[in-house]
Structure 1
Amino acid sequence: MGFGQFLAAPEHDIKIVTHRDIFQNTALESSRGGEEYISRSAVIKLDENDIKKMGLKAKGRAVLKNSSGRVVVTVEKSEYEEAHEGIGYMTNSPWSNALVSADTNGTGVPKFKMIIATISDGKDEKITSFDI
């Protein structure tokens, strides 16, 4: 047993932008709550430099949390050519929605497009499950 096992993984600030994805929507229609839907929805896509800087692994797990919720998702390398350090992309799903604040500042519309959260290594944690 090493001392490191008692230390929490370092947390990094991240801005999450949500988007729609035709393949994820198709998976939702064909297998609501199935493996394909989960594999396309419980994902955060990060800049390659962020993955390295944050000590994460592509295809590994990450914990995303803020005052609204906590989820464990899979990390994927973003396919965007331009660097977008500090910004992660997630599809509209129960995993991203769990992080959306209920406070609408009187507008009645939640802020789905810019979610502020922290991200840390999820190590061997399982992807958060939802009854869909």
Structure 2
Amino acid sequence: MAGFGQFLSSPEVKLRIVTYRDAFQDAAKVESLFGEEYEKLSAVILLDQKDITKLSIKEGETVILKNSSGKVVVKAQKSGYEQPHPGIGYMVNSPWSNALVPEDAGGTGVPAFKDFEVVASGSKEEKVTGIKEII
């Protein structure tokens, strides 16, 4: 029998996503775009400890990231940055972050690849979105 907790929704946190490049992830991409190593290094969001706590998750658990452009499930990791950055998540440039980039370029013709908003919620049951589901 399911408990009362099944009816409670997961806490949601608004995040501003900043993307970056990573040499190790780029090397894994060259080796195999569909490989486990590339997914392990790409389907990740780095969060401030305060945001991990707000989401009621543990490091390494999955989170759903969604906005009007898309939805992906990635693993959450503590960023380890010295300066606190609640409300800001860091994602490596990848199909997972690109799936969330707003289509509206604001008249500039250039999408906001480096800075966009999502709503994050914990997801203990969902698996990381596979690359074949994105591309």
Counterpart CA distance in 1 for 2:84 and 2:129 is 28
Instruction: Report 1:1-132 matches (<5 A).
Output: 1-131=2-132
Structure 1 residue runs of 5 or longer lacking an equivalent are none
Runs (4 or more) in structure 1 with deviation over 6 Å come to: none
Q: Is the 8 A contact 2:11 2:54 kept in 1?
A: no
CA distance in structure 2 between the partners assigned to 1:119 and 1:15 by the alignment: 10
| Structure 2 unaligned spans of 5+ | none
Give the letter for the 2:93 counterpart: N
Tell me the CA shift for residue 49 of structure 1: 1.9
Q: What is the percentage of aligned positions where both structures have the same residue?
A: 55
C-alpha distance after superposition, 1:6-50 (max 9, x if no partner): 232121111110000000000000121100000000000001122
Q: TM-score normalized by structure 1?
A: 0.95
Cα deviations by residue, 1:74-125 (Å, 9 ceiling, x for unpaired): 0001021111111000001111011101100111100011110100001120
Instruction: Work out the CA distance in 2 between the residues paired with 1:115 and 1:104.
Output: 11
TM value normalised by structure 2 = 0.93
How far is 1:72 from its partner?
A: 0.2
SS in 1 for 2:126: coil
Q: How many residues align?
A: 132
Report the RMSD for the aligned CA atoms in angstroms: 1.1
